Every structure is written in structure tokens, then in C-alpha cells.
Amino acid sequence: MRTVRNSLAGIRASAVAMPVLVGLLVAACAADSVATPPISPGTPGHPRDVNIITKDYSFLPSEVDLVPGETVLLHVINGGLVVHEVVIGDGPVQDAWEAAEAAVANPPPGPTPFVSVPPALAGLRIVVESGQRVDLLWTVPGDPGPLLIGCHIPGHWAKGMQAAIRFVRPGMLP
């Protein structure tokens, strides 16, 4: 920052330099608006905090950056008014949970039906009540295929409760 300011002071008097000045100001503002530092991959001893907020009916952020093989401490926060979940997995995992939860939609009065899918299709699932937060330590696969985030509380996936996972290199800006 100091370098930019000093160079601005030096060229302020020159009208020709105005486009440069504006460009530098825009660049400086853009740099200031980055809220988080470049991604430094989490380790089992120092997991990286990753927040996922569920709303009615979307995820924030809509794209989650992860480094393959890193360990993250997921903080899933339900800021919505109804129960939501975070299912992390590929397409078949999302399909399996969608089918399993649809099968027990609108159950008769009584205990909440237990929902499950075959272990190979389970992925990672975190269910969070309205206003609650659930933390989970998770090691991202080292050689992952495409992964999605979805909520399969009946009707939510169809309402657009889906988010993408973007795999990034260490040091990349989130």
C-alpha cells in the first residue's frame, strides 16, 4: 500500500497520468476488498476453517474452494427457518440421498424415520436444525472427482439448494 501511495503522489500533477492513477486506485481498492488471505491448505494439526451457511433455500457461498488432500474444519450454520443439510458427494451420491429422503417425505406422526443410503453412496452428510451450527473435521480426498454440495430435505434440491466445490491450488485466492 505504501508503495502505491508514494507513486500516486509523484504523478498526481500530471493530467496524462490520470488513467494510470484511476487504475492504481481501482487495484488498491480491489486488494483491500479481499476479506480472506490466499488459501493455505489445512492439516490435521491445523485444519482450515470453512464456513457453509444454509439458507431457505440456498448455500452461502454458492461455490466452496477446497484444496485436494487438505483437512478442513467445516462449520455448517443454518441461517434458515427450516432444517437443512449439507451432503458432499458426486452426482450418484446426490441422487441416492434425494431418492432416500423423498421416500420418507410426509411420514405419519411418530419418530422421525431413519434415512440411509448404501455406504458407497453416503458421501458426507451433515444435518443442521434452524439456528444451529455443526462443526465437522474432514479430510478432502486427495484425488477427488467432481463434487457437489446439496440439500435433500424433500423439495429443497428442486428449489435450487445446490452448490459447487471448486478445487484450487494452495496459495490461490479464494
State how far the Cα of 76 lies from the Cα of 72, in Å rounded to an integer: 12
Of the residues 84, 86, 94, 126, which one makes contact with Cu ion according to CB under 5 A: 84
Asked if 162 and 149 touch (Cβ cutoff 8 Å), the reply is yes
b/e 23-44 (16+ beta carbons within 10 angstroms → b)? ebeeeeeeeeeeeeeebebbee
Residues 140-159 that bind Cu ion (CB under 5 A): 151, 153, 156
Number of residues forming the site for Cu ion (CB under 5 A) = 5
Residues paired with 75 in a beta bridge: 51, 135
Q: Which is nearer to Cu ion, 24 or 83 (CB)?
A: 83
DSSP character string of 131-157: T-EEEEEEEPPSS----EEE--STTTT
Q: How far is the CB of 157 from Cu ion (least distance, A)?
A: 8
Q: Which is nearer to Cu ion, 39 or 88 (CB)?
A: 88
Q: How far is the CB of 159 from Cu ion (least distance, A)?
A: 8
3-state secondary structure of 16: helix
Q: Which is nearer to Cu ion, 31 or 158 (CB)?
A: 158
Q: Which is nearer to Cu ion, 47 or 59 (CB)?
A: 59
Q: How far is the CB of 93 from Cu ion (least distance, A)?
A: 16
Where do contacts with Cu ion occur on this chain (CB under 5 A)?
A: 84, 151, 153, 156, 161
